[in-house]
Amino acid sequence: MTKSFYIDNEECIACGTCAEICPDCFKFDDSMEHAAVTGFDCPMDLVQEAMDNCPVTCIHWEEAQ
Ligand code: SF4
């Protein structure tokens, strides 16, 4: 099952690391104030790696309800 996740835009410092690690699901360019999630169809281990390398730990798994 695909897990979903989100970026806390208030916390994101726009470093671009997540998009470098997992460009299929994260997008960032210099015109953006924060990174964006573009989809959930990517390897979950890469998403976890992006989370682990986010300097402000603002990428979170969406809790299943
Ligand atoms: S790694 Fe974290 S702080 Fe950096 S752009 Fe991605 S979400 Fe924002």
pTM score, two decimals?
0.93
Instruction: Count Cβ neighbours within 10 Å for each residue of 21-48 and write b for 16 or more, e otherwise.
Output: bbeebbebeeeeeebbbeeeebeeebbb
Domain range 5-61, its CATH number among 3.20.20.100, 3.30.70.20, 2.60.40.680, 3.40.50.300? 3.30.70.20
Predicted confidence (pLDDT) per residue in 25-48, tens digit: 999 999 999 999 999 999 999 999
What CA–CA distance (Å, rounded) separates 33 from 43? 25
Residue 65 clears pLDDT 80, i.e. is over it? no
CA of residue 64 to ligand 1 center, whole Å: 23
The CA angle 28-9-17, to the nearest 5 degrees, is 35
Predicted confidence (pLDDT) per residue in 9-22, tens digit: 999 999 999 999 99
Residue 63 has a pLDDT of 82
| Contact residues of ligand 1, CB 6 A cut-off | 7, 12-18, 28, 34-35, 54-56, 58-59
| Torsion angle defined by CA atoms of residues 62, 45, 40 and 6, in that order, rounded to the nearest 10 degrees | 40
Residue 32 has a pLDDT of 97
Residue 2 clears pLDDT 90, i.e. is over it? no
